[in-house]
Amino acid sequence: MSQTSNDGQRGPLSHLEVLDLTLARAGPTCTRQLADMGANVIQISGPQRGHIHGSDSHNLQRNKRSIVIDLKHDRGLDTFLRLVDGADVLVENFRANVKHRLGIGYEKLAQRNPRLVYASLSGFGQNGPYADRPGVDQIAQGMGGLMSVTGPPGSGPWRAGIAISDTASGTFLTQGILAALIAREQNGRGQWVHTSLLESMINLMDFQATRWLIDGVVPPQAGNDHPTFFPMGTFRTADGHINIAVIDRWNAFVEAIGGASDIGVDPRFQDHAARSAHREELVTACEEKLQARPTHEWVPILNDAGLPCGPIYGMDEVFADPQVQHLGMAGRVNHPDDGDLEVVRLPLNFSETPASLRSAAPRIGEHTRQVLLERGFDGAEIDDLTRCGAIAHRTETPEWGTG
């Protein structure tokens, strides 16, 4: 099942206009979420500014419109500032000092539009000793502690398989924007809200960070096992692997796998402390039972016994799963060059103001004239701005790739 448009229903943010100065992944993740919830997101690109292209772009840039303005051109900057006057939100992910060099920092724009919510995303924060460093996801994974706890015990650092700090920081920034908009309803003023890859990554460490801050424990790598509960992790079956969370249902677990008469009475496994002390022996004993059946047979058996469990999918299997199809996690858009495409929908469900997939990723500069006409520029002025190089239409820009 695919989710498409919301058939004319207005999303919860359809009254908002967002100026999007972001590129790469983290910033566009934020503006994509706002766009999916109905906001009028206007992506502003420079004439030579690179963007992610291909399938990644289709997923990150859907539901947006694209214009090209040269912020380094005096008339381009003036054009941009006129757009700021009517905007609700501006999102940028330049290095911390770049916006000030361009003359578009929060303080300046807030003077023009006191109701503007100005949202910034950087690698390491807006100030401090690392503020001007370039930052990308894997750097944040390492510095935030994630790589130290990922992977098999003693195997050295491992990155997570997704750009987790990019996605997290973009999502946290969305939360901050929504909170700032609620505050604006109370006091009539916008504000500056910002986060970074590093702050977001540390916040996502949550349980492991708390173990250090409160318990003084530096968490080690635990592989596919839960770091403190056991058994809770990945086990081999007859045809692959399965994830099982035994938690407090030890007796139900050993009975379900047929181990009540041996595993269940083994003194090495009689309580949590004993099971933790004999992890390898317990895994071996459990897998001897679990390898009697394929994963798809174990899932209902263990679920019926009240044990959370599930298969381990490749992406093709994820979208073939009946529950995923029922949830409609893939949504359809139509691109003028690439035709019908499926992208991952926003995982939020609203009963009255649903999120939607209204349009495919725009071509860079596709909407420059349309947007400026809507904002009060006349055709002759737009033509003049085009001739002098302050704006552009449907320009070719360098690619970032799809990594």
CB 334 within 8 A of CB 340: yes
CA-CA distance, 44 to 322, in Å (whole number)? 39
Write out the E strands in 5-139: 17-20, 40-45, 64-69, 89-92, 117-122
> Of 89, 104, 83, 84, whose CA–CA distance to 183 is shortest?
89
CB 76 within 8 A of CB 391: yes
**Ordered DSSP codes for 320-377:** HSHHHHHHT-EEEEEETTTEEEEEEPPS---SSS------PPPPTTTTHHHHHHHTT-
166 catalytic? Reply is yes
> Of 217, 193, 77, 89, whose CA–CA distance to 145 is shortest?
217
Contacts 24+ apart (CB under 8 A), 215-220: 219/148, 219/149, 220/149, 220/153
Spot the catalytic one: 132, 166, 225, 304: 166
CB 251 within 8 A of CB 261: no
CB 93 within 8 A of CB 29: no
CA-CA distance, 295 to 354, in Å (whole number)? 36
Instruction: Report residue 386 as tokens.
Output: 């085009």
Q: Compute and round to an integer the Cα radius of gyration of the chain.
A: 25
**Ordered DSSP codes for 204-241:** HHHHHHHHHHHH-------TTS-SSSSSEEEEE-SSSE
Task: Give how far the C-alpha of residue 67 lies from the chain's centroid of Cα atoms, to the nearest Å.
Answer: 24
CA-CA distance, 265 to 64, in Å (whole number)? 61
CB 34 within 8 A of CB 41: yes
Q: What are phi and psi of 106, to 5 degrees?
A: -60, -45
CA-CA distance, 344 to 217, in Å (whole number)? 38
> Annotated active-site positions, please?
166
